[in-house]
Amino acid sequence: MTEAATDTKQMIMSAARLMVQARGFNGLSFRELAKEVGVKSASIHYHFPTKGDLGAALARRYTEDAVLYFDGLLAVSDDPAAHIRGYTEVFRSALVNNNRMCLCGIMAAEHDDLPVEVRAEVDKFTKVNVKWLVKVLSRQQPAAQAQAQAQAQAQAQAQAIERHALAIFAAVEGAQLVARGRGDIAVFDQTIEAYRTAGLLP
């Protein structure tokens, strides 16, 4: 693979990601995307045979990037509150970038008419988010404590953490959705703060 080829493919993915984050997967058109990149739409098909291939690649890359960032957060601090601040910042920055949404958040809304290969990648994004949040919440409620409990209690605890993690993910996605409608980043910040005040966020 030559350098130019790689370059075009990366440019396609970058532009496509931004377009999907702004107008959704259905709102992404090969022609518009091609114009943005400066090639012809047939060339997009060369790199991504179908729209589903492109969408799946976008979601996969997006998830990979998120995982890298999230794990980076765990490495630089031991404070769950700091972890969560870093977490919400990802969603915040999408809004700052021209009122865009989380790639997988906006695709979740289109869930039902997404090509199956795209849907699978979007679902994975939810999974890795929950997994990471479980890790954060578990640190807060140390494993040692769970071990000291009876096994039944430990399991109940694990389930509670899992549900708490999913709740945080859902709430943050919702905050982004609503803030975007208002077109006001302050709405996002205030909503996140309200979550914290209520005790949903560490």
Residues that bind DNA (CB under 7 A): 1-2, 4-9, 28-32, 34, 38-43, 45-47, 49-52
Q: Which of a second copy, DNA, none does 8 bind, CB closer than 5 to 8 A by kind?
A: DNA
CA dist 189 and 158 (Å) reads 29
CA dist 104 and 177 (Å) reads 12
Binding site for a second copy (CB under 8 A): 22-24, 26-27, 99, 101, 105-106, 108-113, 122-123, 126, 160, 163-164, 166-167, 169-175, 177-182, 187, 190-191, 193-195, 197-200
Residue nearer to a second copy on the CB measure, 22 or 128: 22
Tokens at residue 178, please? Answer: 């609503």
Q: Which of a second copy, DNA, none does 39 bind, CB closer than 5 to 8 A by kind?
A: DNA
**For residues 173 and 102, is the Cβ–Cβ distance under 8 A?**
yes
Q: Which of DNA, a second copy, none does 30 bind, CB closer than 5 to 8 A by kind?
A: DNA
Q: Is the Cα torsion angle 132, 133, 137, 138 positive or negative in sign? A: negative
Roughly what angle, to the nearest 10 degrees, separates helices 80-96 and 151-182? 30
The DSSP call for residue 149 is: S
Q: Which of DNA, a second copy, none does 78 bind, CB closer than 5 to 8 A by kind?
A: none
